[in-house]
Structure 1
Amino acid sequence: MNFVALFQALDTSQSTNSKRDALITFIRESDPLESALAVEALTDRARGKRLKPSALKQTAYLAFGGDRWLFEECYSAVGDLSETLAILFADQEKSPEITQPVLADWIQSQEELGRLELEELANELLPLLKAYSKDEAFLFLKLSSGGFRVGVNKGLVHDAVAQAVSMDRAVIEERLMGGFIADVDWLRRLQSPVTQDELDARPLPFLLANPLIENDLNSLDPSTVLVEYKWDGIRAQLIKTRETIRLWSRGDHDITGQFPDIVDAATALPSQLILDGEILAGSPDQLLSFSDLQTRLNRKRITHNLLKTHPVFFRAYDVLRRDGEDIRE
């Protein structure tokens, strides 16, 4: 099973479970380098645009000569540049190769094509596309020009990897968060024994509020009750071990990468520490709204400008672990 076969399985399925099963099978059965490069692409860790969309479009213009309007009509009808080129130039009758690895060869070809001048690119790329099936040409172009989407998110891929190697998903996400190296040893590295620091970086169960019924409310002694303001943010645990800093939201979601400003501030904290608290937009002196906080969520890139226009901070409620000791009551 290669990446083309995986794409076909993912593209024809509307079921999340079916997509997960296809990913698990692919990871377990495919060539290790093929699966590594596929995970790199599916989790948006790809190595940039090896072929710029503008160069691909100019290549099509050269192929159509004075009838470039005809290409524009086709492009307008299809709506996707890679798919348009695959329909126009690939071998529509050819069946794709679905067993032998393809990604390493594709990446090498894309890098070589990316170094060519426009006319040379057209001379090399068009015959190459004609030798591919439609699916092969589409994937080759989509992976080379960026923006590859196939209906799976990073979380689903991480879940599939964890199940494929029978490891805890949190450990897999922790290990994939660092610099991902797409090589034949990627699965062996992921399956190495869990370290104590990785265990220490896991969140503790969140203590959540429960509604009071009227009888409970009437029985409360005001002198023994503490009332705290309900902050409009994201409940989180900030963890600093000897080797790393992690930020977890409820549901065991690792959101460290979305809040580099909080991570930077946490470098001043002592190690072996877990703080329970809330991520809030703005600053302690000037709070912003929850909608401002939402602007920071699910971003693929956290730019310097975004950090300036939508700052956040961590308001600690409690210390759960100090000097490596669990101090919860």
Structure 2
Amino acid sequence: MTVIETLSPPDAAPARRPARTRVIWLFVLVGVLAASVVASLAFGSRTVAWSDLWSALGGAEGTLEEAAVAKRIPRTLLATVAGAALGIAGAVMQGVTRNPLADPGILGVNMGASLAVVTAIAYFGLASASGYIWVAMAGAAVSAVFVYAVGSLGRGGATPLKLALAGAAISAALASLVSAVVLPRTDIGDTFRLWQVGTVGGASYDQLRTVAPYLLAGFVICLASARSLNSLALGDDLAAGLGERVALVRAGAALGAVILCGATTAAVGPIGFVGLLVPHACRLLIGVDHRWLLPFSALSGAVLLTVADVIGRVVARPAEIDVGIVTAIVGAPFFIHIVRRQKVTSL
């Protein structure tokens, strides 16, 4: 019997009703994701007809429209998996820290991965795609530990507000260091500037094959920690009383989140606010049970990043706005709303 079931009322009817609601929302999200994928394939600097879309999905590339769709397929896949990874990573970080403001971007994890990759390329000549991922994961892990250590200083320990402030300050410092590394290198500056904003443009099947094993490992670790995250939500003492090894649970779940953040940042750059928006929206829909919250966060994150990429391509035709800019435009006001709406203490 799980913690959630233990705390449920004895009446079976109320328990079934939320389950039905979750299933309904699950089908809705799957439908929205399918529509988002179709929109990503159909819309861009060149809008294509349905006939061109279906023929391109069948492998045809004889016309400009079919070639455009074929080029959008890996981009759409990358946006989907990257959004899912960031959505789950945000939900796990919020569960591990019991901090409703936790997010890979706000806590400095993405920027730590960025600095590690930029430094390795500029000073150590790193050129391997898999090497980018390992370096990014190491940078994400170091940054996460450092932010948590700084946020734990002083009276009260690692409160949500202190962690958010520490993460924002350290993110700003790391962003300055990234600029300091990139600016003198005119030979790589343009490439880094595009990547630093966060973009899924230029995605390829080779890139997807490289990042897929790491994302799969991160997904498995995070999803396996769902029951334990439910216990952590009750507090460390009660979780320990229920048989959870609190430190081990936190370390394992955080490892999964760091793998997802590092691999995603290596592939698309430091995209912010997805991990903040998505878990909050999912909690409003289906509650706080992480066994449901994590899969819903994956689907919602995939929808958000895919839609943001479509918006960036449509509103600036024939040019495009990088997806990291679109998510920042949406996410910054949402972050301010969260801080102003309620007294932020813990989940």
Q: What's the TM-score, normalizing by structure 2?
A: 0.22
Q: What's the TM-score, normalizing by structure 1?
A: 0.23
Which structure is higher in strand share? 1
Relative contact order higher in (CA < 8 Å, ≥ 6 apart): 2
